Amino acid sequence: MGMDAKTAILEQKTALGIELGSTRIKAVLIGADNAPIASGDHEWENRYDNGVWTYTLEDIWTGLQDAYTKMAADVKEKYDITLTRVGAIGFSAMMHGYMAFDKAGNLLVPFRTWRNNITEEASEKLTDLFGFHIPQRWTIAHLYQAILNGEPHVADIDYVTTLAGYIQWKMTGERVVGVGEASGIFPIDSETNTYFADMIAKFDEAVADKAYSWKALDVLPHVLTAGDNAGVLTKEGAALLDMSGNLEAGIPLCPPEGDAGTGMAATNSVAPRTGNVSAGTSIFAMVVLEKALSKVYPEIDMVTTPAGDPVAMVHCNNCTSDLNAWVELLAQNAELCGAKVNKGELFTKLFNLSLQGAPDCGGVIPVNYYSGEGVTHFDAGRPMLLRGPESDFSLANLMRANIYSAFATLAIGLDILNEEHVTLDTLLGHGGLFKTPGVAQRYLAAAAHTAVTCTETAGEGGPYGMALLAAYRVEHADGETLANYLQNRVFAGAASTTMNPDAADEAGFAAFLKEYKKALCAERTAVETM
């Protein structure tokens, strides 16, 4: 008989994962059986200020505190316990981006998030220099672009990190990140589980003429792997996180990770030949490789699992934003007609309705680009809906097309891995898009031409995965790998559903994707002229 939730809280057999996603900050507390027992969340939105997608420091801390407060209130309401300690804590956030600080700890320029496509020159030059694909959103691309632009703040840099790395620093005083997060900062050598030494040397040489007081390793965070000691919660950190003052210092923290790594943990896809798709504001597929790809692809990022294994990542900036906008419009329409609308219920109804749509969506083609898209080489986006006079413009087709559109660019990237003969035993879907059972899961199976599995925790996504990584930090046995820990201790016997590709859906999605690719010509014209 497992330990009940109340006992687990009292005996600190719990782990807390907090993830700062693009639209939601969520805290998930898990018990001794690794199941969620309490949660809290905070919705937020990025700002577009002076041509940069960003969040302010006030946004970050207000949101983080709100999510924690709601989780602690959930504990109080369910179990009548004032939360003062947990077994371990882990922080994660949207990967990539750029936060630069001076010696006094001041943020030198506003946080530049993953969503920006403002580092094209740096991306191309570093890719040539390293012989390794460096996407625009990577931290080192942002740093190098700032150098190329001659931005004066670069001379004052003492620390460059990501959002997750920043939170960890403020919580513990430690300038560290997990290896999965680090692999979106600078290329990682999976033999050593740290930055490629030869590439670090090449970078330093490339900027030597600037005569900065720092070298790359001086300002980049130290790299840790899953299970490593990443510091403990300080009094200052506890006070920053918990406004009530109840949370005690001294709680161990695991290495902070990116949303890619937490998604892998949440779906038990950290072993070779496994993969997962995380679908939210952005969408990405992570496929753990048995061997390196044959060449460098600008559409494919090479990153790692939280344990350091090589991963091919297809990252797309655009996923659910346009879908959410259409649902919001339909909600406004319902309210205009006097209906009281629960957004969660509306999403479920509309998703289920999409199953009645034509397999090819009847000639309805949404292009879901709110921002630029690296896979298809767009620096900016303009959401649009295209259809012909003969198109079957029904609500079912519109919804099906919007969900297809969320997967379309990802499918273009996955086709490259198919050409590389990458073998997948299983593909797991997680994130908000999969909350309605059997809908997005079915369409992804058609888009990826492979079976897709979703677990009961699929909708929890990243924060749940981060809580598991925190639990692994304090619970794993000597020599117990992360893959074994997840397989044997967490997911053994876990409830899940698997859907195989339906032939009609595959043919329908292929027909839709053909038209979607044609529509990108109109998208490019819109970007260039609007």
pTM value is 0.82
Q: Dump pLDDT digits (tens) for 124-165.
A: 999 999 999 999 999 999 999 999 999 999 999 999 999 999
Task: Enumerate domains of the chain plus CATH numbers.
Answer: 268-432+502-530 (3.30.420.40)
Using 50, 70 and 90 to split pLDDT, how confident is the model at 61? very high
Pairing, β 188-189 against β 194-195: antiparallel
Which residues neighbour 280 within 8 Å (Cβ) at sequence distance 6 or greater? 21, 22, 23, 319, 320, 431, 432, 433, 461
Residue 278, pLDDT > 50, answer yes
**Residue appearing with tokens 């998030």:** 113
Q: Dump pLDDT digits (tens) for 70-125.
A: 999 999 999 999 999 999 999 999 999 999 999 999 999 999 999 898 999 999 99
The token pair at 419 is 């050409």
Q: How far is CA 334 from the centre of its chain?
A: 32
Residue 36, pLDDT > 90, answer yes
Residue 460, pLDDT > 70, answer no
Compute CA distances 502 → 8, 80, 238, 361, 451, whole Å.
43, 48, 50, 15, 10
Q: Euclidean distance between the first and final Cα of the chain, in Å?
A: 62
By the 8 A CB rule, do 59 and 15 touch? no
Output the pLDDT for position 1.
46
By the 8 A CB rule, do 326 and 404 touch? no
Compute CA distances 116 → 139, 161, 300, 370, whole Å.
11, 16, 18, 11
